[in-house]
Amino acid sequence: MRLSNKVALITGAGSGIGREAALLFAKEGAKVVVVDINSVAGQETVSLIKAAGGEAAFTANDVSKAAEARAMIEFAEKIFGKLNVLFNNAGIFPDADGSVLETDEEVWDLVMNVNLKGVFFGCKFGIPALLRAGGGSIINTASFVALMGAATSQIAYTASKGGVLAMTREMAVEFARQNIRLNAICPGPVETPLLAQLLSDPARRQRRMVHIPMGRLARATEVAQAALFLASDESAYVNGATFTVDGGITAAYVTPE
């Protein structure tokens, strides 16, 4: 198994990519700490893991609050004795996030607090725990929009993901000699509840689809597989990477018909 003897904490593990990663990491032998602001969803993920014979525990925490982010790390060390893998995956994409001209300051702050400050807190409190465990792997979820503009405006989201990517690189350099690796996953559009609202509009869906060489959205499991690789020792020399899982979006100049 690829994550035997490892303890992995995954934020936003009640849905989408986070849930798939939690199921996969547990299947590969990790003890998984499921973190989500939504208790029902988080507990459901734990039940699914246990039903499949895995080991997991849930803690309800809001990653955008310092005390709660600290508490989730303490929970991991208390319940499972250590922390080896931290997947800062929780993120939001509110409807009201649009053009720079129309997006309100409150929406900007909300998105930044969860998507960017949440990753900052995860690393701030998680890195000392990884150091106590002798090192480990941190995976931060950015997005392909950190590398290019989004076809449908979402100014706060795009800015937050650019920040996640830049911050990941800086920490990857700082902790490289202390046996901690940090990498950012940049998924393309994934078929999850986060995008459901946006993609329920056929015109907006088509506007997105035009840019995807593979002609389809990603599945959450496909992003989880990338996270598994980065979490495991198979990626021992991968550090500070911008790990695109985008079906070729960022490589495309012209998309085939």
Partner residues linked to 87 by β-bridges: 10, 139
Considering only 24, 26, 32, 114, the residue that binds ligand NAD (CB under 6 A) is 114
Could you tell me which stretch among 26-34, 47-55, 191-199, 248-256 binds ligand NAD (CB under 6 A)?
191-199
In the list 59, 64, 154, 235, the residue contacting ligand NAD (rule: CB under 6 A) is 64
- Residue 163 touching ligand NAD (CB under 6 A): no
**194 binds ligand NAD per the rule CB under 6 A:** yes
Stretch that binds ligand NAD, among 15-23, 24-32, 94-102, 172-180 (CB under 6 A): 15-23
Q: Which residues contact 167 (CB under 8 A, 6 or more apart)?
A: 116, 119, 120, 123, 140
> What residues between 128 and 147 interact with ligand NAD by CB under 6 A?
141, 143
In angstroms, what is the minimal distance from the CB of 178 to ligand NAD? 26
Task: Please say if 157 is a catalytic residue.
Answer: yes
Set 157, 158, 161, 249: catalytic member: 157
- The interface mask with ligand NAD, positions 67-106, x = CB under 6 A, is ----------------------xxxxx-------------
For ligand NAD, which is the closer residue by CB, 49 or 90? 90
Q: Contact residues for ligand NAD (CB under 6 A)?
A: 11-12, 14-18, 36-38, 41, 62-64, 89-93, 114, 118, 141, 143, 187, 189-190, 192-195, 220
Catalytic positions, written as ranges: 157
